């Protein structure tokens, strides 16, 4: 071992190299030298990070960092993944699926029906299955959907109940069928009131103005004066006719 890392025998006939940057230290331990975390002869768990060839010689580079179960190139829309719920928020649940970042199941993607809060469907630590519906590698975002893997509920439409006109035989055979109450005849008082209202609307003329009333009164006075004048003329004519008749009769008597 040296300051840069350690040489590890992985049983392939040639040694492999574990760089200090690929060493995982216990929590709270700061690595300054490789000896701070590794000892000669110690058994450790490592993964092959890269195999490089230089001058016809292969160089195997190792890492103690567990590789991702899912690389970005493997995460595609429509892929079904399994994971553990690691955090709940008001808007959804974060699920660890073995990728660089946890995936998010939005509350609207948890079920086909209404979900008030994510805790009504899942809890932290639950193992779930979901489908990838969106991937944004630049923003390091993975969106998942649980309802995409659930069957769509059938919508049952209620059929309208048949009426007696549509199926008279069924209604005639059912003596317990509840009959629809007959419509009550219109009350006489309502008809009278309606007729009275219509009559009132037809005959109710607008009230005359003051000017119209004055003109009407003047016309009536003029008519009265004319009637009186005509009456006087008639009386004068009648008297005159009576005088003529009287004189005529007197003349006839005298001649006899």
- What pLDDT is recorded for position 155? 77
Same domain, 78 and 55: no
What domain range includes position 24? 5-63
Is 173 within the bounds of a domain? no
* Alpha-carbon gap, residue 121 to 118, rounded angstroms: 6
Is residue 59 domain-shared with residue 91, that is, in the same domain?
Answer: no
Residue 53 lies in a domain: yes
Q: Is residue 231 in some structural domain?
A: no
Note whether 85 and 111 are same-domain residues. Answer: yes
* Domain boundary pick from 38, 63, 88: 63
Q: Would you tell me how many other CB atoms lie within 10 Å of the CB of residue 110? A: 22
Domain count for the chain, please give it: 2
Q: Give the whole-angstrom CA distance, residue 197 versus residue 187.
A: 16
Return the closest-CA partner of residue 16 out of 81, 64, 79, 68: 64
Residues 29 and 10 in one domain: yes
174 CB neighbour count, 10 Å cutoff: 9
What's the CA angle centered on 54, arms 52 and 58, to 5 degrees?
50
- Say if residues 103 and 69 touch (Cβ distance below 8 Å): no
Q: What is the mean pLDDT of each run of 10 residues along the chain (256 residues)?
A: 73 80 76 78 81 77 77 89 95 93 95 94 95 92 95 78 62 57 57 55 57 76 73 63 67 57
Q: Determine the pLDDT at residue 235.
A: 60
């Amino acid at each position: 071992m040296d300051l840069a890392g350690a040489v590890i025998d992985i049983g392939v006939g040639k040694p492999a190299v574990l760089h200090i940057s690929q060493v995982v230290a216990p929590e709270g331990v700061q690595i300054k030298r490789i000896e701070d975390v590794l000892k000669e002869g110690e058994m450790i768990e490592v993964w092959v990070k890269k195999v490089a060839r230089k001058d016809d010689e292969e160089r195997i580079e190792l890492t103690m960092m567990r590789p991702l179960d899912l690389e970005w190139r493997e995460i595609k829309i429509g892929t079904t993944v399994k994971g553990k719920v690691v955090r709940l928020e008001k808007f959804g649940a974060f699920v660890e699926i073995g990728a660089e970042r946890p995936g998010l199941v939005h509350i609207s993607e948890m079920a086909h029906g209404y979900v008030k809060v994510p805790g009504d469907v899942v809890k932290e630590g639950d193992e779930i299955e979901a489908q990838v519906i969106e991937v944004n590698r630049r923003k390091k975002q993975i969106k998942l959907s649980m309802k995409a893997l659930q069957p769509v509920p059938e919508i049952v439409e209620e059929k309208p109940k048949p009426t007696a006109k549509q199926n008279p035989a069924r209604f005639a055979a059912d003596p317990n069928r509840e009959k629809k109450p007959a419509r009550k005849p219109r009350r006489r008082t309502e008809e009278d009131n309606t007729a009275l209202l219509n009559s009132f609307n037809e005959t109710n003329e607008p009230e005359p103005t003051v000017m119209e009333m004055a003109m009407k009164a003047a016309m009536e006075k003029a008519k009265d004066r004319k009637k009186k004048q005509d009456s006087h003329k008639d009386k004068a004519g009648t008297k005159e006719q009576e005088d003529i008749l009287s004189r005529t009769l007197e003349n006839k008597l005298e001649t006899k």
